[in-house]
Amino acid sequence: MSSAAQSHRTALWCWSVTGLLLLATTINYMDRVTLASASVRITSELQLSETEYGHLELAFGWSFALGSIVFGFLADWIPIYILYPAALLAWSAMGAASGMTEGHHSLLLCRALLGFFESAHWPCALKTTHTILSEKQRTLGNSILQSGASIGAILTPQLMRLLLTDAPGSWRKTFIFVGMLGAAWALGWFMLVRPRDLTSPKPPETTATDKGLIAILRSKPFWAVAILIVGAQTVWHVYRVWLMKFLQTGRGYTESAALNFNSLYFAATDVGCVLAGLFALALVKHLHLSPHLARRRVYTGACALTSLSLFLPILARGGFLLCTLLVIGAGALALFPCYYSFVQDLSATHVGRLTGILSLWVWALTSPLHSAMGALADWSKSYDLGLVIAGIAPWMGVVSLHALWKIPSATDTQTNPATRP
Residue 420 pLDDT:
45
* Position 338 in a domain: yes
What's the pLDDT at 413? 45
- Residue 363 included in any domain: yes
Which residues form the domain of 337? 9-195+211-419
- Which CATH number fits the domain that encloses residue 368? 1.20.1250.20
Structure confidence at residue 95 (pLDDT): 92
Q: In this predicted structure, what is the pLDDT of residue 323?
A: 96
Residue 267, classified by CB atoms within 10 Å of its CB into exposed (0-12), middle (13-18) or buried (19+), is middle
Backbone φ and ψ of 86, nearest 5°: -65, -45
CA distances from 315 to 187, 189, 252, 384 (A): 47, 46, 13, 10
Q: Is residue 337 part of a domain?
A: yes
Residue 329 lies in a domain: yes
Residue 277: what pLDDT? 85
pLDDT along the chain (421 residues), means of 10: 51 90 93 84 85 84 88 89 95 92 88 94 88 76 84 84 83 90 93 82 42 88 95 90 88 88 88 89 86 91 97 93 96 92 83 85 79 77 88 96 80 46 41
| Per-residue pLDDT tens digits for 124-155 | 998 898 888 876 677 778 888 888 888 887 88
Query: CA 329, CA 119: separation in Å to the nearest integer?
Result: 22
Q: Does residue 303 lie within any of the structural domains?
A: yes
Would you state the pLDDT for residue 325? Answer: 97
C-alpha to C-alpha distances, 344 to 4, 33, 126, 142, 410, nearest whole angstrom: 23, 27, 8, 10, 19
In a domain, 205, yes or no: no
Task: Tell me if 301 is assigned to some domain.
Answer: yes
Total domain count for the chain?
1
Q: Is 204 inside a domain boundary?
A: no
The answer to whether 250 touches 382, Cβ cutoff 8 Å, is: yes
